Amino acid sequence: MTSKTTTTDSVPHIVVAGGGAAGLVSALALASGGLAVTLIAPPRTRDPRTTALMDGSVKALKALGAWEALEPYASPLRVMRLVDGTKRLLRAPEVAFRADELKLDAFAWNFENEPLLAALDATVAGRPNIRRIAAKVDHVRQGEAGVSVALDDGTTVEAALLAAADGRNSPCRRDAGIAMRTREYPQVAVTATLAHTRPHGDISTEFHTETGPFTLVPLPGERSSVVCVVSAKEAEALAALDDIAFARAMEKRAHSLLGAMRLDSVRGSFPLSARTAERFSRGRTVLVGEAAHIIPPIGAQGLNLGIRDAATLAELVIEAMRAGEDIGGAHVTDAYETRRRSDVEGRSFAVDLFNRSLLTDFLPVQGLRGMGLWLLGRSPTLRRRVMREGVGPTRDIPRLLAGEPV
């Protein structure tokens, strides 16, 4: 039997598909402006990743009232150190970026995804205008005045707009007929949390190697997350090691900077690819988070982009609602496309360029990378500019990212 859920009262109704971090933050941001939100969130599988959220994302979470539940699980990242760990002829000098040079307390805060998602779940549960349904989107039908979202429990939800945060294989994107542009890389990101005998001192260290970056990011206590980007063959060899040998291999890559290491989580393995949707909206569907863009885990950009998607969408939708306009109309969805495109494309391009500069054996490119880092080490003005861009965009910033309500 098919039942239908429709919202007919005066408050516009929006559906958010997906209960990952991008979907949860979207639901919170949209609900903060008074919209009626239905969150379609099937039970999640365990997420072994960690996420560093930049200063702007943290400001947005504070403005959404989610930070109190999150803070106990976060570790600040106050210094970022880049170390050339290659054995090449032209090697770059070490560079350290300090958050206080930007007058920031920290560049970012690092979390294990499980407590991050649990704290966001709890914040969502406390919002009376978010209704959560534990089901999957089965298919989506676009109409002139609304969108029908059919769920796998046999019910259908009608709304003015669908925010599709249903992940990299997004069924909502498929039904909107939006294609992805894809770029594959010959690398895999091996991830784990490690306990260590020396304190990290709130410093994140990134070793540049011939196969990609090896990054240590502080976690609460004497623990750090590791993102180790290697060739597929090396990833297989690491996967074959037992936990003790794996921790030793990580310690060796870290040059024993943090002392002896012990595995403190399950291990993850993520083949690197970049995908960007050809459009971020079609009809009354807009794409948010990894449904719209997948970026390699280099430079901690992925979810930070997703949070900016959520904040921008909420701003546009809530402005339309306050003006008495259709919240799923073309003026909203087109503006979303325009405002999100350059941030997403720009960051994908920068990550791609950086990754290629590590992989290449072409001496002039290695020389240029080394010279760039040497200049960064010497010029505080240049360093501040690069740091500011790394933390987030400097133009067209949604209000939530400045810590203001929508």
Ligand X SMILES: Cc1cc2nc3c(=O)[nH]c(=O)nc-3n(C[C@H](O)[C@H](O)[C@H](O)COP(=O)(O)OP(=O)(O)OC[C@H]3O[C@@H](n4cnc5c(N)ncnc54)[C@H](O)[C@@H]3O)c2cc1C
Residues at the site binding ligand X, with contacts judged by CB under 6 A: 17-23, 40, 42, 44, 49, 51-52, 136-137, 165-167, 171, 189, 191, 227, 270, 289-290, 297, 300-304, 306
Q: How far is the CB of 371 from ligand X (least distance, A)?
A: 28
As given in the structure block, the two tokens for residue 156 are 């259908």
Tell me whether residue 149 or residue 320 sits nearer to ligand X (CB atom): 149
Evaluate whether 36 touches 319 at the Cβ level (below 8 Å): no
The overall longest dimension of the chain from CA atoms, in Å, is 69
Taking the C-alpha atoms of residue 240 and residue 333, their distance in angstroms, rounded to an integer, is 47
Evaluate whether 59 touches 98 at the Cβ level (below 8 Å): no
8: nearest Cα among 172, 162, 140, 157 = 157
Q: How far is the CB of 77 from ligand X (least distance, A)?
A: 10
230: nearest Cα among 221, 220, 241 = 241
Tell me whether residue 111 or residue 196 sits nearer to ligand X (CB atom): 111
Q: How far is the CB of 321 from ligand X (least distance, A)?
A: 24
Going 276 to 280 to 284 to 285, the CA torsion angle's sign is: positive
Q: How far is the CB of 381 from ligand X (least distance, A)?
A: 27
Backbone angle region of 181, left / alpha / beta, with phi > 0 → left and psi within -120 to 50 → alpha = beta
Q: How far is the CB of 374 from ligand X (least distance, A)?
A: 27
Q: Residues 6 or more apart from 376 whose CB is under 8 A from it? A: 95, 382, 383, 386
Tell me whether residue 137 or residue 277 sits nearer to ligand X (CB atom): 137
172: nearest Cα among 143, 151, 146, 145 = 151
58: nearest Cα among 104, 121, 114 = 104
Tell me whether residue 44 or residue 252 sits nearer to ligand X (CB atom): 44
55 backbone dihedrals φ, ψ, rounded to 5°? -50, -45
Find the residue with minimal CB distance to ligand X.
20
Q: What percent of the residues of the chain are helix, what percent strand, and what percent coil, each to the nearest 5?
A: 40, 30, 30
Tell me whether residue 39 or residue 320 sits nearer to ligand X (CB atom): 39
Q: How far is the CB of 358 from ligand X (least distance, A)?
A: 17
- For the sheet containing 285-287, what is the strand order? 130-133, 36-40, 13-17, 161-164, 285-287, 281-282
Q: How far is the CB of 311 from ligand X (least distance, A)?
A: 14
Tell me whether residue 17 or residue 58 sits nearer to ligand X (CB atom): 17
Tell me whether residue 20 or residue 328 sits nearer to ligand X (CB atom): 20
Q: How far is the CB of 191 from ligand X (least distance, A)?
A: 5
Tell me whether residue 83 or residue 164 sits nearer to ligand X (CB atom): 164
